[in-house]
């Protein structure tokens, strides 16, 4: 294992020290491992928070800031944050209008966020709404989930819902919007290599040089099947076809994200986006907005994922609204 680390046991703590040094506009609670906006949530604004295991950067800490999250809770690598961590973030971030929890559909995350919401309500009376993302079409169930995994739509949802909260919409409206976004998006990923968790010191799974994993999860969970390595055009087809089979995206414009898993260079990600764009055009799908880059990663895994989201005029307006975070920035 070759990684830019000190002690494998301190990777998260050391990384958060770096976040604090690089982004003085943010506030880092090193004890509870929570990243907040520098300024408290303004009175009357719904606080939007998310979190999960580390190793998926910039998700979630890289999306804390104007137009997106008010706080992000960091668990250990690929491990859910504890209920106490989530409860602390919920209490601190609340500006009096309630808190929206955005939770990816992994068993530990769902359970711990749910417990934290109950504790926060009992202790301080803060009102919490929870939306669970489950956009991965690769599998219905996995080692980590009951039902579909929450993956790329989480990024798009945090942007859109963050903009709605910034506008001053109330908690019920923000939660309803989040559920609508989740139900309108689908994702599929693939891997060329495994990732290596620092504490483990070796790849999570073995993948021969001439094979690839289709439908892989963001923790390295197996996907639909292992198939021979193929040209990018074929890989794009294998990613997009299950998405289009699962949901009809021809009714309106779409937001498309071509996401890197952490170990794939941008030259390859743009090449893949070009192949995906050709398939979508042939399928009669209008791409209104796109993202290409590393937004929800799996440490050093080589591979990519495709996310499609149906977007009407309202969603596109919220997408275009100003955002200023470490991982996403425009309009400011």
Q: Exposed (0-12), middle (13-18) or buried (19+): which is 317, by Cβ within 10 Å?
A: middle
For Cα atoms 34, 156, 168, give the angle at the middle one, nearest 5 degrees: 75
Are the C-beta atoms of residues 84 and 118 closer than 8 Å to each other? no
> Residue 113: helix, strand or coil by DSSP?
helix
Q: Which two tokens stand for residue 313?
A: 């005029």
Question: Residue 101 catalytic?
Answer: no
Give the CA diameter of the chain.
Answer: 56
User: Active site residue: 23, 60, 101, 219, which one?
Assistant: 219
Q: State the Cα torsion 30-35-40-43 to the nearest 10°.
A: -130
Buried b (16+ CB within 10 A) or exposed e, 113-127: bbebbebbeeeeebb
Whether 60 sits among the annotated catalytic residues: the reply is no
Beta strand pairing call for 303-310 and 329-330: unpaired
Angle CA 311–312–313, to nearest 5? 125
Catalytic residue among 23, 56, 60, 101: 56
Contact 193, 301 (CB under 8 A): yes
Rounded to 5°, angle at Cα 212 from 209 and 217: 130
Q: How many CA atoms lie within 13 A of 278 on its CB side?
A: 11
Spatial distance between the Cα atoms of 7 and 259, rounded to a whole number of angstroms: 29
Residues 207, 212, 218, 224, Cα dihedral to 10° = -110
Active site residues per annotation = 56, 219
């Amino acid at each position: 294992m070759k990684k830019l680390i000190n002690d494998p046991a301190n990777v998260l703590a050391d990384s958060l020290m770096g976040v604090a040094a690089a982004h003085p506009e943010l506030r880092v609670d090193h004890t509870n491992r929570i990243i907040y906006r520098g300024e408290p949530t303004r009175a009357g604004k719904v606080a939007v928070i998310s979190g999960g295991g580390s190793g998926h950067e910039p998700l979630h800490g890289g999306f804390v800031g104007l137009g997106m999250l008010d706080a992000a809770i960091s668990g250990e690598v690929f491990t859910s944050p504890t209920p106490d961590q989530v409860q602390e973030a919920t209490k601190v971030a609340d500006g009096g209008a309630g808190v929206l929890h955005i939770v990816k559909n992994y068993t530990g995350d769902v359970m711990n966020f749910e417990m934290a919401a109950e504790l926060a309500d009992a202790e301080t009376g803060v009102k919490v709404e929870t939306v669970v993302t489950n956009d991965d079409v690769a599998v219905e169930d996995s080692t980590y989930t009951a039902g579909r995994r929450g993956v790329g739509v989480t990024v798009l949802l945090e942007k859109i819902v963050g903009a709605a909260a910034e506008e001053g919409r109330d908690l019920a409206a923000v939660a309803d919007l989040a559920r609508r976004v989740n139900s309108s998006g689908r994702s599929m990923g693939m891997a060329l290599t495994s990732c290596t968790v620092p504490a483990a010191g070796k790849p999570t799974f073995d993948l021969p040089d001439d094979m690839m994993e289709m439908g892989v999860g963001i923790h390295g969970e197996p996907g639909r099947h292992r198939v021979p390595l193929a040209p990018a055009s074929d890989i794009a087809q294998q990613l997009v076809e299950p998405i289009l089979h699962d949901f009809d995206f021809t009714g309106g414009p779409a937001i498309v994200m071509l996401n890197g898993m952490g170990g794939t260079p941008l030259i390859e990600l743009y090449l893949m986006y070009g192949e995906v764009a050709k398939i979508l055009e042939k399928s009669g799908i209008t791409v209104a907005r796109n993202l290409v880059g590393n937004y929800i990663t799996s440490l050093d895994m080589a591979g990519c994922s495709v996310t499609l989201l149906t977007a009407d005029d309202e969603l596109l307006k919220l997408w275009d609204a100003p955002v200023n975070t470490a991982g996403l920035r425009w309009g400011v």
